[in-house]
Amino acid sequence: MASLKGRFFSLLLLSITCIVLLILLQGNVLGSNSRTGFLEYNRFREDSDEGESTPSPENPQNYRTTRRNSLMKPKSDKKTTPAETPIPVLSLKSFDKLPQWDFEDIYNQDSPPRLTTCAQSLRNSQDKDFQKAFLPNIRLYLHKDNFNMSEWNRLSHFNNPFGFMQMHHEEVMAAIKLLPKLKEPLLLPKQGGDGCVHCAVVGTGGILNGSKMGAEIDAHDYVFRMNGAAIEGYEEDVGNRTSVYVHTAHSITASLAFYQKYGYKAAPHDEGIIYVMIPEGLRDFQWLQAVYKGERVVSGEYKNRNARTYYSGQFNESRFYVLHQDFLRYVRNSFLKSSNLNKTFWGIVRPTNGAFALFLALHVCDTVSAYGFMTPDYSKYSNYYFERYTKTHVVFYANHDYILEKNLWKKLHDKKILKLFQRTKSEAVTEKPKQL
């Protein structure tokens, strides 16, 4: 009997020991699995890249390692992190085609600037492809408060206007330090309206010649224009209001020389107009310094030019926005990734100013109507709407993929994301010269 009791207690003790060990082992397994949750963000970044990714040259795993360490290792009070410094300047010549970094599709996003109550807002689109590509809260504007050395080093991997490749930190920062954080959202619904923000984006395409779309364009809450937006004498076709003018240093200066013969005298300067700049290169940051300081440009292509005069007295830093490099890169990567980026001249390939203006509108407006943009029958029209008495042809430049953009505008129109102005066959004629 004593022997049986001894065996029973031995088996009971062994069973209890096994159960305790099993619980401990299970706890360790669960603990190790819970850590993988911190890495899911990194896995998402790696899986989202298309094709082969290019590690950062100064530290092949820099961004991935930094994120992991900050999540998995608590900060120590005994050690201080050395101050981050600019990475070595990267050169376009080092790459035969667009490099694909492992953080290529990581973008800054902000809190929603406003909650729309507009039932017809494009943000309510049920199109799955558009929902997948569209980032409603992408960071739109660059300013000194959302910029630091880590941001500089990240963006230095991308060519302009998508980043700061080939640029020096001190040259660019001299301008960025002047950029204040401005109020958002950019546009608000009109009082007494339907709660929606209705926008027209007006390009310079010849399809507007003789269109008589001016009144319809001006009926929108806000009107966007860009580049050589000649208005005087063309009001019946293109309207006369401008709420937002999108430009680069090159476009606002060159338009005066190129389009003066068509009556273009200055960039739009309506009372209270909002100016939006695309920082496409170093010359734009040199321009920005002069604009904000009220001085002449001190160096570069526009040296000694009085930048503020190009805004005809309407420059106001509370109404002057600079597009963020993440927004520009997102537009290219998600919607307009040209096959030319795989060619040796990839470094100059980017969407047009009109494309950036249209996508800005898609992110700050509820409804968007596009006028003067390329349509499938573009060959029927002159290059510009102000070429009234001559039949010119659309000029294709290597730095823009016009056909890709044309196809996208038609696709977005068909999906009812935007409304693209198109002409009927009977209307598709160039205005004939008037008899003298």
pLDDT band, very low/low/confident/very high, at 27 (cuts 50, 70, 90)? very low
Mean pLDDT of the chain: 85
Task: Please give the average per-residue pLDDT across 272-277, as a whole number.
Answer: 99
430 has a pLDDT exceeding 50: no
The residue among 106, 38, 105 whose CA lies nearest residue 67 is 38
pLDDT tens column, 140-170:
999 999 999 999 999 999 999 999 999 999 9
Instruction: Specify the amino acid at residue 347.
Output: G
Query: Largest Cα–Cα distance in the chain?
Result: 131
63 has a pLDDT exceeding 50: no
CA–CA gap between residue 283 and residue 323 (Å, rounded):
15
Task: Please give the average per-residue pLDDT across 394-410, as a whole number.
Answer: 97
The β-bridge partners of 225 are: 202, 245
CA–CA gap between residue 387 and residue 165 (Å, rounded):
38
pLDDT tens column, 105-133:
999 999 887 788 899 999 999 999 999 99
pLDDT tens column, 318-334:
999 999 999 999 999 99
CA–CA gap between residue 327 and residue 141 (Å, rounded):
8
244 has a pLDDT exceeding 90: yes
Task: Please give the average per-residue pLDDT across 281-291, as a whole number.
Answer: 99
Cα three-residue angle 67-337-159, rounded to 5 degrees: 60
Cα three-residue angle 422-425-430, rounded to 5 degrees: 85
Task: Please give the average per-residue pLDDT across 243-265, as a whole number.
Answer: 98
Model's pTM, two decimal places? 0.81
Phi/psi of residue 54, each to 5°?
-110, 120
* Number of residues written out for the chain: 436
Residues 122-420, CATH architecture: Alpha-Beta Complex (3.90)
317 has a pLDDT exceeding 80: yes
13 has a pLDDT exceeding 50: yes
Tell me what pLDDT residue 281 has: 97
Task: Please give the average per-residue pLDDT across 55-82, as a whole number.
Answer: 42
Q: Which residues contact 28 (CB under 8 A, 6 or more apart)?
A: none
CA–CA gap between residue 224 and residue 201 (Å, rounded):
5
CA–CA gap between residue 401 and residue 430 (Å, rounded):
25
Rounded to the nearest 10 degrees, what angle do helices 282-293 and 249-259 cross at? Answer: 90
The residue among 146, 144, 148, 154 whose CA lies nearest residue 66 is 154
Task: Please give the average per-residue pLDDT across 295-313, as a whole number.
Answer: 98
Tell me what pLDDT residue 18 has: 55
Least confident of 72-76, 112-116, 326-330, 424-428: 72-76
59 has a pLDDT exceeding 70: no
Task: Please give the average per-residue pLDDT across 73-90, as a whole number.
Answer: 72
The β-bridge partners of 201 are: 224, 370
Tell me what pLDDT residue 424 has: 79
CB 87 within 8 A of CB 153: yes
CB 150 within 8 A of CB 83: no
In the chain, where the domains are located: 122-420
Tell me what pLDDT residue 113 has: 74
Tell me what pLDDT residue 274 has: 99
Q: Kindly calculate the radius of gyration of the chain based on its CA atoms and give it in whole angstroms.
A: 28
Tell me what pLDDT residue 76 has: 43
Helix H, strand E, coil C: the string for the chain is CHHHHHHHHHHHHHHHHHHHHHHHHHHHHHHHHHHHHHHHHHHHHHHHCCCCCECCCCCCCHHHHHHHHHHHCCCCCCCCCCCCCCCCCCCHHHCCCCCCECCCCCCCECCCCCCCCCCCCHHHCCCHHHHHHCCCCECCECCHHHCCHHHHHHHCCCCCCCCCCCCCHHHHHHHHCCCCCCCCCCCCCCCCCCCCCEEEEECCEHHHCCCCCHHHHHCCCEEEEECCCCCCCCHHHHCCCCCEEEECHHHHHHHHHHHHHHCCCCCCCCCCCEEEECCCCHHHHHHHHHHHHCCECCCCCCCCCEHHHHHCCCCCHHHEEEECHHHHHHHHHHHCCCHHHHCCCHHHCCCCHHHHHHHHHHHHCCEEEEECCCCCCHHHCCCECCCCCCCCCCCCCCCCCHHHHHHHHHHHHHCCCCEECCCCCCCCCCCCCCCC
Phi/psi of residue 26, each to 5°?
-65, -40
From residue 314, how far is each of 186, 222, 288, 309, 318 by CA, in Å?
17, 17, 15, 9, 11
The residue among 174, 179, 189 whose CA lies nearest residue 141 is 179
Task: Please give the average per-residue pLDDT across 66-79, as a whole number.
Answer: 36
